[in-house]
Amino acid sequence: MASMTDVKTTRIERRFADLKAQGRAGLVTFITAGDPDGDLSLQLLRALPAAGADVVELGMPFTDPMADGPAIQAAGLRALQSGMTLKRVLQMVRDFRQGDGKIPGDNDTPIVLMGYYNPIYSYGVATFLTDALAAGVDGLIVVDLPPEEDAELCLPALKAGLNFIRLATPTTDDKRLPAVLKNTSGFVYYVSIAGITGTRSAADADIAAAVARLKRHTGLPLAVGFGIKTADQAAAVAKAADAAVVGSALIQRIADNLDANGRPKAGLVEAVLSLVRDLAAGVRRGRA
């Protein structure tokens, strides 16, 4: 199914076209903006592409993240306690794009904001879309807005030029899929388990079968996430899908590098980037 935006006009679409041309799958990494604090979070964001992230999902912290498991819930709480707001999330994207004199800006890596509708609604949809585009955001994943509510945010986002990425799950049957895919653009995010983030992993055969079924319904790239923690798991996903999405494992790596008082230990950023490099190598190995 064609995107509602022109073909290959967004960073997301260009990135997946480049990956296809290279004959490999991509790595999509998720971090929560402001976790463990604003400065370290921006350092991580700026370093992720060089470590192997092809697309970055940036979580918008929210007080009631009902689809997220314990690790990402804790990350959101740390971010909120550090003073992160949606306005500051957008500033973080702007800083990533612009650089700071010492660190060059990144105008190529796609940034997808992921989270819940309440902060966007409170911000004001029209103002949010204007500010997000100006900051350099490329797409949105809003997990609590179903297709029946597309007029609320999805259609205005597409009209503004942002990709709107929808989630499909193991319970999304053939009857439901057309509604899910109708206004989706950029890529489809296949949630490989039924449940919350970071709790368990799907079997390789189940992922391969699900990807094959989805590809019969859409020509959009398919990214598979929820439960990928290791390079081997990323490699297995890369054999079937167009990208592997890793979030909870990276968030847990951040948590593992906080002291008993919640303060970052020396080497936190490198600890996370080391895992990203391993995962990126796994994704590349998947199509070798």
What is the mean pLDDT of the segment spanning 239-256? 96
Q: Which two tokens stand for residue 162?
A: 């942002």
Say if residues 211 and 224 touch (Cβ distance below 8 Å): yes
Grade residue 9 by pLDDT with cuts at 50, 70 and 90. confident
The pLDDT confidence band at residue 5, using thresholds 50, 70 and 90, is very low
Q: Is 152 a catalytic residue?
A: no
DSSP 36: S
Of the residues 68, 106, 131, 138, only one is catalytic, namely: 68
Distance CA 250, CA 253 (A): 5
Instruction: Given the residues 57, 95, 106, 242, select the one marked as catalytic.
Output: 57
pLDDT at 175: 92
Give CA–CA dist 259/113, Å, rounded.
28
Q: What secondary structure does DSSP assign to 214-263, as a single string? A: HHTT--S-EEEESS--SHHHHHHHHHHSSEEEE-HHHHHHHHHTB-TTSP
Domain boundaries, the chain: 11-286
Name the token pair of 42: 């921006």
Residue-by-residue DSSP string for 73-110: HHHHHHHHHTT--HHHHHHHHHHHHHB-SSSB--SSS-
Q: In the chain, pLDDT over 90 holds for what percent of residues?
A: 81
- Give catalytic status of residue 18 as yes or no: no
pTM value?
Answer: 0.93
Task: CATH number for 11-286: choose from 3.20.20.80, 3.90.870.20, 3.20.20.70, 3.30.1020.10.
Answer: 3.20.20.70
Position 66 scores a pLDDT of 82
Q: Give the CA dihedral 43, 46, 52, 58, nearest 10 degrees.
A: 90
Residue 200 pLDDT more than 60?
no
List Cα–Cα distances, 86 to 29, 52, 74, 163, 207, in angstroms. Answer: 19, 26, 17, 19, 34
